């Protein structure tokens, strides 16, 4: 069973339905005990970084989340949930992230060398992937669905699983050991997203490698 953490800042049902569409057992978790019983964890998120971190730190799930990750349980952060994995964000000055992946979250530029662009970055875009079990059975440069104004910039290139371009290159997916993040929404990314969720579940089942 995969536990989808309900900390008050997530699009829980769409993620739950995304797993259900590919036949993967997943359920919303509201207690530390439900997290302990799960084989993998998902940290979803929509909204603002500061309020999401406040909700996470103000609830009962964070201490257990950190214990489970430290013990090696796979964790997947989606969209704002991925941004929460980092040290800090320009969206919430002075607000610390979880610090599970070193790096910062920065506002996407409106003015670029390619001209003026709309922010948020919303819609379909290609990603350039590194070899990873997460992207098994996918075509080169698959299309996925984004909705975000801020993007992640890891300190170490080794933590980057995929990049995308929207005025600048940014990390579309990251991984450090058992911690994985996706800036895009796999649950909204059609057949590509379904394969990614299946691959994540297979990694959970087999132990993240």
Positions annotated as catalytic residues are 79, 185, 187
97, two tokens: 């992230």
Query: How do 160-166 and 128-129 pair as beta strands?
Result: antiparallel
CA angle 88, 85, 161 (to 5 degrees): 115
Query: How do 179-182 and 75-78 pair as beta strands?
Result: parallel
> Looking only at Cα atoms, what is the longest distance across the chain?
50
Looking at residue 130, the DSSP 8-state letter turns out to be P
Q: Among residues 127, 121, 122, which one has the least CA distance to residue 143?
A: 127
Length, in residues, of the chain:
209
Classified as helix, coil or strand, 151 is strand
Tell me, rounded to whole angstroms, the distance of Cα 197 from its chain centroid: 12
**Cβ(38)–Cβ(4) under 8 Å?**
no
CB atoms within 10 A of CB 153: 14
Strand partners, 175: 180
């Amino acid at each position: 069973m995969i536990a989808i953490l309900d900390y008050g800042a997530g699009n829980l049902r769409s993620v739950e339905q995304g797993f259900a569409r590919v036949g993967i057992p997943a359920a919303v978790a509201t207690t530390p005990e439900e997290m302990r019983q799960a084989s993998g964890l998902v940290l979803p998120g929509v909204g603002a970084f500061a309020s999401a971190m406040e909700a996470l730190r103000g609830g009962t799930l964070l201490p257990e989340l950190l214990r489970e990750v430290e013990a090696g349980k796979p964790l997947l952060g989606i969209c704002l949930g991925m941004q929460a994995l980092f040290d800090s964000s320009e969206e919430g000055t002075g607000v610390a992230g979880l610090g599970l992946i070193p790096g910062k979250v920065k506002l996407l530029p409106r003015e670029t060398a390619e001209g003026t662009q709309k922010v948020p970055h919303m819609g379909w875009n290609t990603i350039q992937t590194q070899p990873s079990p997460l992207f098994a059975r996918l075509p080169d440069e698959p299309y996925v669905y984004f909705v975000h104004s801020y993007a992640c910039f890891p300190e170490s290139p080794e933590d980057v699983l995929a990049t995308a371009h929207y005025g600048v290159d940014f990390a579309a997916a990251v991984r450090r050991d058992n911690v994985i993040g996706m800036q895009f929404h796999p649950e909204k990314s059609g057949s590509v997203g379904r394969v990614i969720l299946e691959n994540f579940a297979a990694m959970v089942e087999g132990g993240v490698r």
